[in-house]
A and B are shown apart, each in its own frame.
Chain A
Amino acid sequence: DTEVTQTPKHLVMGMTNKKSLKCEQHMGHRAMYWYKQKAKKPPELMFVYSYEKLSINESVPSRFSPECPNSSLLNLHLHALQPEDSALYLCASSQERGVLYEQYFGPGTRLTVT
């Protein structure tokens, strides 16, 4: 089973709202990732967690706050977003960090900021 699940599938939020995106995998993977994808563009890496610790933050604004409560779960907390943050947010997991491991992606959350 190579399934990564994400909730919600769609999210509309105002600029003053606080919301969270959730990602879950039960493959025993130790690396988890958040990507942002704008329309007709490839995904852009935001955060990498390895063994539940934040390994990489790709200079993402602080209005995005990741959290890894345990090895199966990854959250992305959103606060005071801007309309330009509207995008598809993809979660991925990998057995380990490293070039030899494939990343499996979830179905994504389509976020619209109004």
Chain B
Amino acid sequence: AQKITQTQPGMFVQEKEAVTLDCTYDTSDPSYGLFWYKQPSSGEMIFLIYQGSYDQQNATEGRYSLNFQKARKSANLVISASQLGDSAMYFCAMRLLTQGGSEKLVFGKGTKLTVNP
């Protein structure tokens, strides 16, 4: 079964510290993309970072980095130097093609991050 698991319903971090949000995935498809999105209370889904299944290096985007461990099927998001504005729900998602040419963006249940001053 193709699924994304986020085991941390909620996480707390002190401002300026780093935090890791966990994500594991399950697919037998060799070609897939892994994404992290941030969703503040306003509702908008903000794309943060992407990792392709064939990428050799871990993706980085500013304060965001993706710790991609293919053998363990994990794609953890690391946020460095947390800011108060980072408080939001974070979704890990996997994009893959299904048989018959369909495609799916499978989301995890999300992790609610709270940054404390």
- Interface of A toward B, CB cutoff 8 Å: 2, 33, 37, 40-43, 45, 48, 55-56, 88, 90, 92, 97-108, 110
Q: Which residue of B lies closest to A105 (CB)?
A: B45
A105: contacting residue among B31, B32, B47, B109, CB under 8 A: B47
Find out whether the CB atom of A2 lies under 8 angstroms from the CB atom of B47: yes
* Chief secondary structure at chain B's binding surface: strand
Contact A102 B45 (CB under 8 A): no
Chain B residues lying within 8 Å of A37, measured Cβ to Cβ, are 43
Q: Known pairs A90-B45, A102-B47; list 4 more (Cβ under 8 Å).
A: A40-B110, A99-B103, A101-B33, A107-B44
B44 near A48 with CB under 8 A, answer no
Indicate which residue in B43, B44, B47, B103 contacts A97 across the interface (CB closer than 8 Å): B103
CB neighbours of B31 from chain A (8 A): 99
A42-B91, A105-B47 known; A99 vs B96 contact (CB < 8 Å)? yes
B107 within 8 A of A: yes
**Would A42 and B35 count as touching, CB distance under 8 A?**
no
A-B contact pairs, 8 of them (CB 8 A): A42-B110, A56-B102, A88-B43, A99-B31, A99-B95, A102-B50, A103-B47, A106-B44
CA distance A100 to B47 in the complex (A): 14
A104 surroundings in chain B (CB, below 8 A): 47
Complex alpha-carbon distance, A37 and B93, angstroms = 14
